[in-house]
Amino acid sequence: MSVRLAVFDCDGTLVDGQADICHTMVHAFEKAGLSPPDANAVRRIVGLSLPVAIRHLAPGLDDEQQRQVVEHYKAGYFARRQEGLLHEPLYDGIAELLHALRDAGWSLAVATGKSDRGLQSVLAAHDLTDLFISLQTADRHPSKPHPAMLEAALFEAGAMPSQAVMIGDTSFDMQMARAARVHALGVAWGYHPPEELTATGAHEVVDQVAQLGAALERAL
């Protein structure tokens, strides 16, 4: 059987972590003595690597200010995890979908702006780690929409671009998929609106988790 690879974004696609991301970002800016961005702006940058996200939120920061915000964010998020305050629930139906895809012969991967530690933590919390053959994070790659994460996932899965689908909720995911010549499948329950996903390259956008299985079959 030929390889079929489904690569998932994490925040906004598998889990809803926006509350913790927004809280920690505001805290990081305040710790650095800076005016914090509003929550809508923070949701817009979910999926980007942290330094790139902060440049989008506050393009006028100098290098030292940006470094401080990055470090405060990392420290704040780690502290929330250690204190048991993080709330990163799976979207309804995601666990069942992932198991069904694996049982149907799909290879599964993740490409995310999270760190290695952050991704491993959330997958372990939901007992999903063993489902994935490739985990690509911002720790080892340029930020989305650069195709490096997808290219690494393809290599590890032994798949060609024509044998893979990128599933994500942001324009960054759709642009990354297009750059890697992979089918781009958008989901409407995340952080960018469906019309933006379509405008940035989505071949299809689904409204519900229950529609993902059929959309993946149509993709390949």
d(CA 139, CA 116): 6
C-alpha dihedral over 137, 18, 169, 102, to 10 degrees? 60
Give catalytic residues, as residue numbers.
9, 11
Tokens of 65: 């200010």
Q: How far apart are CA 12 and CA 110, in angstroms?
A: 13
Total residues belonging to the chain: 220
How many Cβ atoms sit within 10 Å of the Cβ of residue 6?
27
Q: d(Cα 165, Cα 220) in Å, to the nearest integer?
A: 8
Q: Do 65 and 32 contact (CB within 8 A), yes or no?
A: yes
Task: Using alpha carbons, select from 171, 163, 168 the residue that is nearest to residue 198.
Answer: 171
